Amino acid sequence: MNTDTTASVSTHILDTSTGRPAAGVAVRLSARPGREAGWQPLGGSRTDADGRCADLPAPPQGTTHVRLDFAVEPYAEEQDAERRAEARQDAPADRGSGTGAFFPEVTVTFAVVPGEHYHVPLLLSPFGYSVYRGS
CATH (residue range 8-71+108-131): 2.60.40.180
93 pLDDT band (50/70/90 cuts)?
very low
Name the more confident of 93 and 135: 135
Residue 75 · residue 103 · CB < 8 Å: no
Per-residue pLDDT, 22: 97
Q: In the chain, where are the structural domains located?
A: 8-71+108-131
Least confident of 40-44, 94-98, 121-125: 94-98
Task: Please check the confidence at residue 66 and state whether its pLDDT lies above 70.
Answer: yes
Task: Please check the confidence at residue 43 and state whether its pLDDT lies above 70.
Answer: yes
In three-state secondary structure terms, 35 is coil
Task: Please check the confidence at residue 88 and state whether its pLDDT lies above 70.
Answer: yes
Name the more confident of 94 and 75: 75
- Strand segments, DSSP code E, in the chain are 8-15, 20-21, 26-32, 40-46, 52-53, 65-71, 105-111, 117-119, 122-125, 128-131
Distance CA 96, CA 84 (A): 4
Contacts 24+ apart (CB under 8 A), 43-50: 44/69, 47/11, 47/12, 47/13, 47/21, 47/22, 47/23, 48/23, 49/21, 49/23, 50/12, 50/21, 50/23
Residue 46 · residue 26 · CB < 8 Å: yes
Per-residue pLDDT, 54: 82
